[in-house]
Structure 1
Amino acid sequence: MIDFGIITVSDTRTKETDKSGQYIQNAMTEAGNTFIQKYIVKDDSQQIVDAYNKLLVSSCKIILVNGGTGIARRDVTIDTLEPKFIKIIPGFGEYFRQISIEEIGLKALVSGATAGITDSDQICYLLPGSTNACKTALERIILPDIDHLIKEITK
């Protein structure tokens, strides 16, 4: 079992309307992982960093952030969190966009989805806010490879 936390980045979502965050929580716990905490924050760099910093000092080994990864001016998740990673996992974003093209076409190319390692040796995934995109990422990439990645960062 792996401890995980969630950050939903959205100007409009609430606890009741956060379908992507709820999907992530359900999928991860159904796979046998342990939910620690979820934060819902605005598309605001300071709010994102505050939630991220709280999860950095938690028992989480996986941080799943959804929302704010597009190309709109208000989408600041990538610009805010990627510089905080000590290592980027470039293959995650590359493969995510590749398989997303199969599902939604070239619209997938505007996704900034990425992943990296935090300075607390956690894996942080930056996912689009779409529930379907979160489902694709979890079912086709994250869950099948989660144990391998955890072993790699704890060597």
Structure 2
Amino acid sequence: MFAAGHDVAGSRIVKDDPVQLRAALDEAAAAGAEAIVVNGGTGIAGRDRTYEAVAGVLEKRLDGFGELFRMLSFQEIGSAAMLSRAVAGTWGGRVIFSVPGSRAAVRLAWEKLIGPELGHVIRELRKDRG
């Protein structure tokens, strides 16, 4: 369990391959995950295909997540923050956050954005379930 009180349902390492990423998302959904955090593959190199895989399933984008992540990243790493394609949104009644793979980026995303707001996001999504 994270300090913010959220249980971890599981984790999986997959290649930055859209088919494998989609299978991992489907697996997390089948396991009952209400939130999924994907890290890595959000850059602009040819091998970076996580953004396309995640953005392709999102029903509603949370544009503020990527905007705030890049703003906070800019404060730490400068203009290289613009290369991040961090994205978040909803899919099938759950939320997905896709962040860069560096430890610093994952820590920043969790401590400043995801962790503090995750409970609120999940409560909002649960309203749709009745």
- Band the TM-score falls in, shorter-chain normalisation: over 0.9
Where 2:10 maps in the other structure, the secondary structure is strand
Q: Using structure 2 for the length normalisation, give the TM-score.
A: 0.93
How far apart in 1 are the matches of 2:16 and 2:32? 25
Q: Which runs of 5+ in 2 are unaligned?
A: none
Aligned residue number for residue 146 of structure 1: 118
Q: Using structure 1 for the length normalisation, give the TM-score.
A: 0.79
Aligned residue number for residue 51 of structure 2: 78
Where 2:82 maps in the other structure, the secondary structure is helix
Q: Which runs of 5+ in 1 are unaligned?
A: 1-27
How big is the alpha-carbon RMSD for the aligned residues of Structure 1 and Structure 2? 1.0
Where 2:31 maps in the other structure, the secondary structure is coil
After the TM superposition, which residues 12-27 of structure 1 pair with which residues of structure 2 at under 5 Å, given as runs?
Answer: none
Aligned residue number for residue 104 of structure 1: 77
Matched residue pairs, number?
127
How far apart in 2 are the matches of 1:60 and 1:30? 18
The percent of aligned pairs where both chains have the same amino acid is 39
The answer to which structure has the higher strand fraction is 1
72, 93, 97: which one aligns with 1:125: 97
After the TM superposition, which residues 1-80 of structure 1 pair with which residues of structure 2 at under 5 Å, given as runs?
Answer: 29-80=2-53
95, 119, 125: which one aligns with 2:68: 95
Amino acid at match of 1:151: R
Q: CA deviation at 1:46?
A: 1.1
